[in-house]
């Protein structure tokens, strides 16, 4: 009995510590300095071009200046975090692939053969693969960041996906990664995911936190049939009725109908904002994590770039809830961080315009407008 009591007390202490980390992170998230947007725009308007003629590239540069509080920022160290986790709800036939594919794809990431590896190399970004909740024992695998909170979530059609304490641990993993890589001098983060079945919890989160009907935010994921899509919608509706996630409490929503990788992504975003580091949100699953972070602290919005609008029908609803405008619209639906890597190229292009383009004075070009 004494040993059992000690274990219980240790778990309580650990849970309190995780809550402290999350609360301290939330306290450290400050509004961006609005005056720096104007300062950056003044410089952009003095470059050899008509004012505003480079559109959203100018927006990206302004936002980087405001986020970093640096009038001449650089993006010399970029990283995409791909969080991997399994989901008990796959047993309900909501995915076209078996859950074993999650672990198989983790090995593919580590070998450098996946879509995210190709596009991250193109963007000049590193890929960090995080096992936060895969139902597989990887052992000693070079390059894998092992921060496993659980071996997959439980089937949320039969009860909560995880405990509130587990959800807090997932958030803490993301925060710790953000703090660690901020300390190593990384200047911009991207989010990515891997987890067979994870469009199902993402749709559940979207429905609860946007107030939209489940059928309006649930898509085909990896390409399921019409019959499977209807089953998926029914599973989510039944799970929400059973678990009653509280839309006013994002951690409750994460614990009852979420996933480990979604929690890790949310924590990474919170940690990025607390360190004044821009974070590029990938697709549907990443945006579910972003929505959790936003509902915990709306100020995180100012630190996010929405990489793209995916082919998943619920993605747009979540972006609208947060108030983010996607950079790309390419019908992407792979996840992994692929959209984030692509968007990083354009974000950096905007910064290079800001840093490298000549001013009118430097180029000897008249800036006088003739009416």
- Please give the pLDDT value at position 100: 96
- Residue 369 falls inside a structural domain: no
Residue 106, Cβ neighbours under 10 Å: how many? 22
Catalytic (active site) residue 336? yes
Mean pLDDT of the chain: 94
pLDDT band at residue 43 under the 50/70/90 scheme: very high
Task: Average the pLDDT over 113-119 and give the result.
Answer: 98
Based on the domain organization, do 61 and 103 belong to the same domain?
Answer: no
**CATH classification of the domain holding 26:** 1.10.1610.10
Q: Do residues 175 and 216 both lie within one domain?
A: yes
Find, among 199, 291, 216, 214, the residue nearest to 250 by Cα: 291
pLDDT recorded at residue 7: 60
Determine the Cα–Cα distance for residues 269 and 291; give it in Å rounded to an integer: 10
Overall domain count for the chain: 2
- The answer to whether 117 and 124 have CB atoms below 8 angstroms apart is no
pLDDT tens track for 294-322? 999 999 999 999 999 999 999 999 999 99
| Joined tokens for residue 2 | 């004494």
> What confidence category does residue 234 fall into, taking pLDDT thresholds of 50, 70 and 90?
very high
Task: Give the C-alpha separation, 184 to 188, whole Å.
Answer: 12
Residue 31 has what pLDDT? 95
Residues 270 and 197 in one domain: yes
268 vs 296: CA distance, rounded Å: 13
Domain span including residue 139? 78-346
Q: Among the listed ranges 7-16, 32-41, 63-72, 320-329, which one has the minimum average pLDDT value? A: 7-16
> What is the Cβ-side half-sphere exposure of residue 327, based on CA atoms within 13 angstroms?
25
**Is there a single domain that holds both residue 144 and residue 186?**
yes
User: Looking at the domain assignment, is residue 368 inside a domain?
Assistant: no
Both tokens of 330, joined, read 């390419």
Confidence label for 11 from pLDDT (cuts 50, 70 and 90):
low
- Please report the pLDDT score of residue 70 as a whole number: 96
Helix, strand or coil for residue 94?
coil
The answer to whether residue 129 is domain-embedded is: yes
pLDDT of residue 324: 98
**Lowest-confidence region among 58-67, 118-127, 213-222:** 213-222
What is the gyration radius of the CA atoms in the chain, in angstroms?
A: 21
* In a shared domain, residues 269 and 312: yes
Tokens of 199: 């469009």
pLDDT category, 197, cuts 50, 70, 90? very high
Are 207 and 182 contained in the same domain? yes
Q: Establish if 370 belongs to a structural domain.
A: no
Same domain, yes or no, for 199 and 50?
no
Whether 136 is covered by a domain: the verdict is yes
What is the distance, to the nearest Å, from the Cα of residue 60 to the centroid of all Cα atoms in its chain? 18
- Give the C-alpha distances (Å, rounded to integers) separating 149 from 48, 163, 258, 261: 52, 11, 14, 10
pLDDT in the model for residue 47: 96
Do 60 and 195 belong together in one domain? no
Let me know whether 11 and 92 are in one domain.
no
CA 254, CA 245: separation in Å to the nearest integer?
A: 8
Task: From the candidates 336, 356, 362, 368, give the one annotated as an active-site residue.
Answer: 336
Which residue's structure tokens are 């953000």?
Answer: 178
- 371 found inside a domain: no
The more confidently predicted of residues 64 and 360 is 64
Q: What is the mean pLDDT of residues 352-371?
A: 84
> Are 164 and 19 members of one domain?
no
| Cα separation, 131 vs 153, whole angstroms | 13
Per-residue tokens: 310: 């995916």
pLDDT exceeds cutoff 80 at 251: yes
Predicted pLDDT at 224: 83
Tell me the CATH number at 316.
3.40.50.10210
pLDDT at 110: 98
Predicted TM-score of the model (pTM) = 0.94
Residues 63 and 100 in one domain: no
Find the range with the poorest average confidence among 19-28, 100-109, 232-241, 335-344: 19-28
Q: Does residue 118 lie in a domain region?
A: yes
Same-domain check for residues 87 and 68: no
pLDDT at site 6: 62
- Enter the DSSP assignment of 89: G
Residue 103 lies in a domain: yes
């Amino acid at each position: 009995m004494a040993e059992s009591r000690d274990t219980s007390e240790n778990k309580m202490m650990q849970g309190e510590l995780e809550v402290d980390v999350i609360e301290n992170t939330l306290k450290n998230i400050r509004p961006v300095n609005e005056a720096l947007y104007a300062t950056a725009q003044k410089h952009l308007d003095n470059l050899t071009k008509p004012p505003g003629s480079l559109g959203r590239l100018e927006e990206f540069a302004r936002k980087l200046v405001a986020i970093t509080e640096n009038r001449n920022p650089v993006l010399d160290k970029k990283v995409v975090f791909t969080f991997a986790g399994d989901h008990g709800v796959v047993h309900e036939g909501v995915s076209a692939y078996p859950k074993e594919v999650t672990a198989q794809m983790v090995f593919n990431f580590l070998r450098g053969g996946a879509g995210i590896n190709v596009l991250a190399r193109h963007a000049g970004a590193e890929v960090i693969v995080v096992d936060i909740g895969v139902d597989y024992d990887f052992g000693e695998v070079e390059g894998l960041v092992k921060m496993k909170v659980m071996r997959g979530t439980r089937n949320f059609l039969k009860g909560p996906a995880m405990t509130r304490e587990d959800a807090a641990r997932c958030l803490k993993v993301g925060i710790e990664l953000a703090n660690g890589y901020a300390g190593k001098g990384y200047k911009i983060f991207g989010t990515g995911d891997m987890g067979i079945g994870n469009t199902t919890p993402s749709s559940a989160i979207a429905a609860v936190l946007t107030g939209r009907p489940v059928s309006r935010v649930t898509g085909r994921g990896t390409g399921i049939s019409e019959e499977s899509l209807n089953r998926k919608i029914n599973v989510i509706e039944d799970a929400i009725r059973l678990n009653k996630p509280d839309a006013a409490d994002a951690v409750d929503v994460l614990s009852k109908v979420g996933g480990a990788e979604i929690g890790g992504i949310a924590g990474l975003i919170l940690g990025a904002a607390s360190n004044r580091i821009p974070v590029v949100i990938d697709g549907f699953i990443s945006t579910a994590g972003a929505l959790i972070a936003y509902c915990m602290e709306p100020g995180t919005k100012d630190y996010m770039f929405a990489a793209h609008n995916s082919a998943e029908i619920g993605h747009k609803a979540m972006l609208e809830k947060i108030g983010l405008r996607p950079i790309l619209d390419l019908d992407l639906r792979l996840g992994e961080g692929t959209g984030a890597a692509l968007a990083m190229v354009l974000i950096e292009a905007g910064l290079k315009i800001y840093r490298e383009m000549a001013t009118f004075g430097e180029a000897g070009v008249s800036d006088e407008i003739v009416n």
